[in-house]
Structure 1
Amino acid sequence: MHRLSRPAPSFVCVCLTLIAFSDRSWAQIPSIGATLPQGAAPGQTVDVKIRGGGLAGPTQFWSSFPAEATLPTEIAGNGTNAGEITYRLKLPADAPPGVHGLRVATAKGISNLKLFVVDDLPAVAQTKPSATVATAQALTLPVAVDGYVDNLARDYYKFQVAAGQRVAIEVLARRLGSPLDSTIRLLDAKGRELAYNDDAPGLGSDSMISHTFKDAGEYVLEVRDIRYQGGGNFLYRLRIGDFPCVTVPYPMGIQRGVSAAVAFAGATAQDVAPMPLNVAGDASVDWLPVGAKLPGGKSSGFAVLSVGGTPEAVEAEPNNEPAKATRVPLGASLNGRIDQPRDVDCYTMTAKAGQRFVFTGVTRSQGSPSNLFLRLLKSDGAEVAAAEGVGPSEGVINYTFPADGDYTLEVSEQTGFGGPEFAYRIAVTPHEEKFELSASADTLNIPLGGLAMVTVAAVRGSFGGPIELSLLDPPPGITATPVVIGPGLTSTVMTIQSDASVAPGKIYPVRIAGKSQAGNVAGQAIATVTAAQKTAFSGLSVPPQFLSRNIAVGVNPAPFFTLKTDKPEVVFGKDLSATVKIV
């Protein structure tokens, strides 16, 4: 039986004492501050310097992309320097391009997650000084440059182009967890501004330009922080090539086990050939990084595709009014695009009395700049429900159909904007008494034979019952004390233990699952770590979705001594007091 209780003050003090006396081993836990380069190319081998602290004695390299990782022995002292190690990474030719993550482990624990790019552009390192046009770093296109901006400074680069050549330029900074809020300016040889961008639609605070040059010659690019801030941690990867400027795939989602042709949405994505895809019906993947190339192109634009278990419908234009609406089955997710300012898309579906469905907008969380306004209409045009994307919400309608008949969902952009990059997806699902969970950390280092704690919060919606938490498929030796988020409560602390059999120096991915019982229907949710990653990555608005559910667990050395109570569980009476023995 699970018991719900409020921790007594003495229990809090014991936890604080344990943490304080474990401090010595925690100080040696590995951490990653930067990598050089910040990316690796599919089908190639590259030496990656990992800089940070506590890196001596590496025992494991982990990445979300496929790679063979070895420690080059010809590098003097490699693996013994606490501040830097070098891994040689060999990527297969089919490694998916885009933003990924990596970690390292030592016998003292596991590192934080560091974002890293799989990029098919050849890479070079920044050379300084490059703070003036006169000292601009010369580049040969196509290229990716790994650099950083100094405080109150600009970085300049120069390159040659042919007449009529189209060049795409983008900065990956916030998308890599950097605090840099980039802005870029393209200048001709006389210093005249040809193009400028601060925040590109769908890229958060990162910048992107696509420019076709009328004349051949040398041109200059300026990179800086919009606030003129900078420093060694204001890192960026500058990409210059022939890649299409994409925001999201189109459609934005596909169904497992069903073949689909996936195109892309973006300012210059119209010429990208649709990509045939079929994700196996039994695949556990929910998100799939995909790359987009123009015909004959050498470099890729990045996007992430949603993978689910329900049908996906795509709008058929013209569908700007209910009379011309795209007819779809109720329960299919809807994919469309606000092609031009003030565009409206309509979808008609047949419902039965008493059916309750939820229409959830998916835009910014997947990289689209769209900010949706949704209206649900009866067959006579009368509005029965409406929603708009406000704050973190991207627009949600939860509606019970009162009568049999046709209903139309009207989708528009509430700002009035539009264009080829303004794609959207509406997830259409039957209403369930469900909930969402989030965990307070994506990395846990547990003392050998000890424990670590993580706060699990619940967003309940309409569900108010108890939620039972557990570890999903934990490795041998890693366990969690069963705990319940009580009825009406929104958070609890979960304790995860390591016994003495767990091998240190390894990275163990775990997930936290929550189960509920609503009537005769059992529900389950997997805790995300998105909020923790946003904090770790300098306020990154949308961390990579496929990294959002795994918590990395490592084991570090046992503390000098431990304190524990003589009882594993304390049940409090009405006076909220209990007597325990500390041993």
Structure 2
Amino acid sequence: MKLLTRIWLAAGITAYAAAICGAAEQGPYIGYVYPAGGRQGTVFKVKARGQRLRNISDIYFSGKGVSASVTGYVGAGGLLNAVQQEELRRRINKLLAKRSPGQNKPVPDAEKPPEAALPDLPELRNLEQMTPAQLRKVYDKFLNFGKRPKPPIAEEVTLEVTIDPNAALGDREVRFRTPAGLTNPVVFQVGQIAEVCEPDKDEEPPAAPSVLQAPVVLNGQIMPGGVDRFTLNLKKNERLFIAAQARKLIPYLADAVPGWFQAVMAVYDSNGKELAFADDCGFDPDPAIIFQPPQDGEYTIAIRDAIYRGREDFVYRIAVAGEELIRPIFPSGTRGGVRICTPSAEWQPRLRYWDNLPEYNETEPNNTGKTAQHIALPHIANGCISSPEDKDVFRFSGRAGDVVAAEVYARRAGSPLDSLLRLIDTKGRVIAWNDDHKDLESGLLTHHADSRLSARLPADGDYFIQISDATRHGGEEFFYSLRIGAPKPDFALCLTPASLNVTAGGATVATVYAARKDGWDGDIELTLKDAPEGFVLGGACI
């Protein structure tokens, strides 16, 4: 049984590209967008960095109500051409030597620098009035190539983003289209809370930091050795949720060690005393803090990388809000298995192939075979392992030879439950059991704690499905949804890379992974849907 196949996609040859053949060139790439979201009903600037982003023709957001246009582009070489760079170097060198003779090491000068006009940029105005420290800051930004962004994020695009007042809340994906093809998708969020961005690190810091008010979303980027701080005026005993998002925005950084931004966060009072700290939230690596100010006053939220790394793509968002406004961000009411608010009324943990099955909520007591809840198959049971010793038991009738499948959906929905599932007959014999079942569709989940089992019933009669926590924990947040019934053979597909770009007359290769479910063992035929005329798909069978 194959779990993957490699396919090739060829584009029809046109008159102007008849000589082109072979694989397409590497496509465009987005490393990050900043800020990685915005508020309904606003228009604001967003900076995106990546590779091969010149001449963007279209910007695609998933869903409706968000649009953007390009307002600026800076290539990998920076804002200045070679002649302008040498002219700026000469002027800074001259000013440093004049202002602080013998105290500052001059910036290396060219042997014969050409005379050139500098572009009208805010950072280059009034060079003659700048201090030596300010001049060296200008030098670092425009001339110090060692401090330029790494190649994967060397190009910069400025966007103007518009979010409609009624745009749906939640996560979106954004991609760019360029002459080189379509970029990878990156996360962009739509919220309903006021947003602020940290002061520009290239500008002089304000004499006194701004004092903000909750609710608010704080946006920033962590640079090497940096600690970002925000001061808020909070009220005594106001229950606030302070939730950072970093890995949620950019799960992996291919050329960073380790390969992600591991945010840590703390809250300080006006005297600098640490009142709260978090480096995660349950099994979610992004930190969150539930905080109640001990008194009215100013408090500081600080965020940094766990080992003080940083660069432009260490992007974060911190939501500071009460329960009503934090719930749309975490509709399940949990984060990493930690209860942070009550769930949204419309939220239910579901897998897509569980639709249209009857549902029941468990009723206690149902801890033993004698008190088991009777159900008819197929069936979805929604319940909770409410205490460390709690076991929920469901009773059903079956016939010899029937195949019964049972699957738990909990950890994938944000529950801390580490489920243990057992199929038991009326004599207490365990026919099948499962602790962890790996879901190939949940690639970012580090612990596949949801259970799944499938077994053929040996005889006519009654049977029990028992669910418990494998680590003997429990609580109101240990919710689950349990499907019991005949197997529903199905599959899911994953394509890598996420974007395919192919030149006219050329071809490209991709890999399609198949996640087979509930015993699906047939061939999977792949086709192109709504493809332009002239495209051909080869090797399309798994």
Q: TM-score scaled by structure 1?
A: 0.64
**C-alpha distance 52-217 of structure 1, shift in aligned 2 (>3 A):** same
Of structures 1 and 2, the one with the larger relative CO (CA 8 A, separation 6+) is: 2
Counterpart of 1:267 in structure 2 is 339
Q: Distance in 1 between matches of 2:229 and 2:175?
A: 32
Counterpart of 1:345 in structure 2 is 392
Give the 3-state SS of the residue equivalent to 1:421 in structure 2. Answer: coil
Give the 3-state SS of the residue equivalent to 1:416 in structure 2. Answer: coil
Counterpart of 1:228 in structure 2 is 308
Contact 1:150 1:231 in 2 (8 A): yes
Q: Deviations over 1:237-281 (max 9, x none)?
A: 1111113666976699xxxxxxxxxxxx962434x662399xxxx
- The residue correspondences of 1:60-75 to structure 2 (distance < 5 A) are 60-71=58-69, 75=71
**Structure 1 residue 163, shift from structure 2 partner:** 1.6
Counterpart of 2:496 in structure 1 is 440
Q: Distance in 1 between matches of 2:263 and 2:415?
A: 19
Q: Distance in 2 between matches of 1:322 and 1:348?
A: 8
**Structure 1 residue 101, shift from structure 2 partner:** 0.9
**C-alpha distance 123-332 of structure 1, shift in aligned 2 (>3 A):** same
Q: 1:140 pairs with 213, 233, 241, which one? A: 213
- The residue correspondences of 1:69-468 to structure 2 (distance < 5 A) are 69-71=67-69, 75=71, 83-93=156-166, 95-127=167-199, 138-178=211-251, 179-201=260-282, 204-243=284-323, 267-270=339-342, 274-275=345-346, 308-389=355-436, 392=448, 394-431=450-487, 437-458=493-514, 467-468=523-524
Moved more, 95-104 or 188-197: 188-197
Q: Distance in 2 between matches of 1:308 and 1:478?
A: 37
Q: Distance in 2 between matches of 1:349 and 1:317?
A: 17
Contact 2:34 2:315 in 1 (8 A): no
- The residue correspondences of 1:461-500 to structure 2 (distance < 5 A) are 467-477=523-533, 479-483=535-539, 485=541
Q: Distance in 1 between matches of 2:281 and 2:415?
A: 11
Q: Distance in 2 between matches of 1:318 and 1:96?
A: 40
**Structure 1 residue 359, shift from structure 2 partner:** 1.2
Q: Deviations over 1:302-325 (max 9, x none)?
A: xxxx97233333222333333333
Q: Deviations over 1:359-415 (max 9, x none)?
A: 122233333332211122223433222110265462211111223333222111212
1:397 aligned partner, one-letter code:
L
**Structure 1 residue 199, shift from structure 2 partner:** 1.8
Q: Distance in 2 between matches of 1:347 and 1:6?
A: 43
Q: Deviations over 1:207-248 (max 9, x none)?
A: 111122231111122212223332222111111111366697
**Structure 1 residue 188, shift from structure 2 partner:** 2.2
**Structure 1 residue 328, shift from structure 2 partner:** 2.8
**C-alpha distance 408-286 of structure 1, shift in aligned 2 (>3 A):** closer
Contact 1:41 1:121 in 2 (8 A): yes
Larger Rg: 2
| Bigger proportion of residues as strand | 1
Counterpart of 1:51 in structure 2 is 49
Give the 3-state SS of the residue equivalent to 1:447 in structure 2. Answer: coil
**C-alpha distance 217-46 of structure 1, shift in aligned 2 (>3 A):** same
Q: Distance in 1 between matches of 2:263 and 2:524?
A: 44
**C-alpha distance 184-340 of structure 1, shift in aligned 2 (>3 A):** farther
**C-alpha distance 19-172 of structure 1, shift in aligned 2 (>3 A):** farther
**Structure 1 residue 342, shift from structure 2 partner:** 3.4
Q: Distance in 1 between matches of 2:6 and 2:318?
A: 51
Contact 1:349 1:406 in 2 (8 A): yes
1:337 aligned partner, one-letter code:
C
Contact 1:200 1:206 in 2 (8 A): yes
**Structure 1 residue 160, shift from structure 2 partner:** 1.2
**C-alpha distance 465-161 of structure 1, shift in aligned 2 (>3 A):** closer
Q: Distance in 2 between matches of 1:97 and 1:234?
A: 24
Contact 1:327 1:348 in 2 (8 A): yes
Give the 3-state SS of the residue equivalent to 2:370 in structure 1. Answer: helix
Q: Distance in 2 between matches of 1:273 and 1:104?
A: 33
Q: Distance in 1 between matches of 2:190 and 2:476?
A: 25
Q: Distance in 2 between matches of 1:276 and 1:457?
A: 30
**C-alpha distance 227-164 of structure 1, shift in aligned 2 (>3 A):** same
Moved more, 409-418 or 167-176: 409-418
Q: Distance in 2 between matches of 1:99 and 1:141?
A: 22
Computed over aligned residues only, the root mean square deviation of the Cα atoms, in angstroms, reads: 3.7
Q: Distance in 1 between matches of 2:333 and 2:287?
A: 24
Q: Deviations over 1:155-180 (max 9, x none)?
A: 22221111221111001111111521
Q: Deviations over 1:430-484 (max 9, x none)?
A: 2356555433321111112322111223455796966243225232326443536
Give the percent of matched residue pairs that are identical in Structure 1 and Structure 2: 25
Q: Distance in 1 between matches of 2:158 and 2:385?
A: 48
Q: Distance in 2 between matches of 1:163 and 1:150?
A: 33
Contact 2:281 2:287 in 1 (8 A): yes
2:509 aligned partner, one-letter code:
M
Q: 1:30 pairs with 9, 24, 28, which one? A: 28
**C-alpha distance 196-450 of structure 1, shift in aligned 2 (>3 A):** same
Q: Distance in 2 between matches of 1:269 and 1:380?
A: 42
Contact 2:331 2:344 in 1 (8 A): no
User: How many residues are paired up?
Assistant: 423
Q: Distance in 2 between matches of 1:220 and 1:326?
A: 51
**Structure 1 residue 182, shift from structure 2 partner:** 1.7
Gaps of 5+ in 1: 8-16, 253-264, 278-284, 288-305, 486-513, 515-583
1:217 aligned partner, one-letter code:
G
Contact 1:347 1:409 in 2 (8 A): yes
**C-alpha distance 45-439 of structure 1, shift in aligned 2 (>3 A):** same
Contact 1:171 1:236 in 2 (8 A): yes
Q: Distance in 2 between matches of 1:31 and 1:6?
A: 22
